[in-house]
Amino acid sequence: MLKINDQIIFALREHKPLVALETAVLTHGLPKPLNLETVLAMEEAVAAVGAVPCTIGVLQGEIIIGMTQAQLQELAEKEAVKIGLRELPVVVAKKLSGGTTVAATAYLAHRYGLRVLATGGIGGVHRGAAQTFDISADLTVLARTPLTVVASGAKAILDLGLTLEYLETMGITVAGYKTKTFPAFYASSSPYKLALELCTPQEVAAAARARDGLGLLAAMLICNPVPPAAQIPYNELMALIAAVESEVQDRQISGQDVTPELLKGLAAKSGGRTLAVNKTLLIENARLAAKIASELVQLKT
């Protein structure tokens, strides 16, 4: 049911800095061949800082903590399930393959001793949630999983204001990294202000250690905006999302299929710009996560 890569076992034993990476971006978040290129680039960014990348996924029912390049290639070519926490036991039992979302990756990372996770953007409260109750399981899992999660805010297709409110309700610390506004994934900033700001990996690591010392059980979300030169400005982005959202609603798409379809539509309408931004922010988040993981190790020694 479970395989932990020898390199990951060694890194855990020797207290090396580790960064967990999800695989839903490989199976559902980005098209081929950009998906595999991006995941490998994220791993390279982590390794370049001196940390150990630990990409988590499932192949034929086996949970793999620290996938090899060959395993990532195999997963990228398979018909894959998008694995949240609810799907995990069934995927294992039926020996299916799939990419783990933030929720499943965070759970597995914490269970097996990792402390830092990097992703693009977390899931959150969907638009119209007052009627649909469509709220990502990412938020519930992060509320009970004391990791440090580096992301460019929440996915821009969500209701960012309600997502921030829900994060506060669930006791999840949200801090901007060198920013006082909540990033909107493809956009570096949004109209939504953040109460907390951290400006160095050392500050983030110190806050994470304080959280652990206080016995708090929720994750700490570090919001790392995509570099302004690479972004799609917020107003332009919202116009794109409104157009794509209308099309998806007309097609009566629902559930887990909504996010992939919206992302696919945004890529088409933006002429591929959203894909380029997505790759950039994923790599930058992995790089920052590696720096934070390295600082956490220094604090522990």
155 among known catalytic residues = yes
CA separation for the pair 118, 287 (Å, rounded): 9
C-alpha distances out from residue 223 to 67, 150, 182, Å:
26, 6, 7
For residue 173, give the nearest of 155, 149, 201 by alpha carbon. 149
Burial of 246 (0-12, 13-18, 19+ CB in 10 A): exposed
Contact 267, 254 (CB under 8 A): no
CA separation for the pair 237, 155 (Å, rounded): 12
Catalytic choice (43, 82, 155, 284): 155
For 175, the enclosing helix (H) or strand (E) is: strand 173-177
44 among known catalytic residues = no
CA separation for the pair 65, 108 (Å, rounded): 8
Contact 66, 5 (CB under 8 A): yes
Contact 71, 64 (CB under 8 A): yes
Contact 269, 240 (CB under 8 A): yes
On the CB side of 178, how many CA atoms lie within 13 Å of its CA? Answer: 11
Q: Which residues are catalytic?
A: 22, 155
